[in-house]
Structure 1
């Protein structure tokens, strides 16, 4: 049911570098009259949601408030191994939700956002 998400950032260059490093993707940044968007690449032929990093004064990063976005992963341990080196902080390491559901982890990105990872068993 999710079709789009936006992650607030204070420093677009820093945030772009962090997410490109952790998820091994390339992001394109566009300026829409002072509203900066750093686009996450969509998965071809996929129904999964995509989104963007957003820099504007009305977008405020938070380590505790707001919606928690979960990024899909083959194994959350892969991204967890990169997060601190890329400037983030691990809040909750790889945790099994249940044997049938899979695993999750939570981190704080370079902008102060609480973000999660999810992988299936």
Structure 2
């Protein structure tokens, strides 16, 4: 699968340590994240590669209006185009913590899992089925 890059961001994952977050998400999704500096405030942003079959359309930011510091409780929901188990294996290897393992919602709704990234963000993954195994 060849990934194409898009500067369109579906959501922001707030981070304190940009390099740590970039490294974490690069390892978890097995993607090269492209760095950009945007806006008058020169905010550093990491752009995930976009591929219409991957479902990944989001960016990571070095600073934002959402407070962190271990108190972030609002989950971030991401579509998982791969087998969730593969992603969860990478989460732990990259320094994240699995909160809830892959769980079947129902045959029609698919699977979900939860993890916390090194920045303290709670990430929910959802997958209808095993699609890609990269």
Query: TM-score band, normalised by the shorter chain?
Result: 0.7 to 0.9
Counterparts of 2:71 and 2:102 in 1: how far apart (Å)?
18
Q: CA deviation at 1:48?
A: 4.6
Kept after mapping to 2: 8 A contact 1:92/1:105: yes
Cα 1:21–1:66 change in 2 (3 A) is: same
Structure 1: tracts of 5 or more residues without a match: none
Number of the residue aligned with 1:66: 74
Which structure has greater strand proportion?
A: 1
Counterparts of 2:46 and 2:10 in 1: how far apart (Å)?
13
TM-score between both structures, scaled by the size of structure 1 = 0.84
Q: Secondary structure of 1:50's match?
A: coil
Structure 2: tracts of 5 or more residues without a match: 1-8, 130-134
Superposed CA RMSD: 2.2
For residues 1-121 of structure 1, the aligned pairs below 5 Å read: 4-32=10-38, 33-44=41-52, 48=55, 50-61=57-68, 64-121=72-129
TM-score between both structures, scaled by the size of structure 2 = 0.77
Kept after mapping to 2: 8 A contact 1:39/1:52: yes
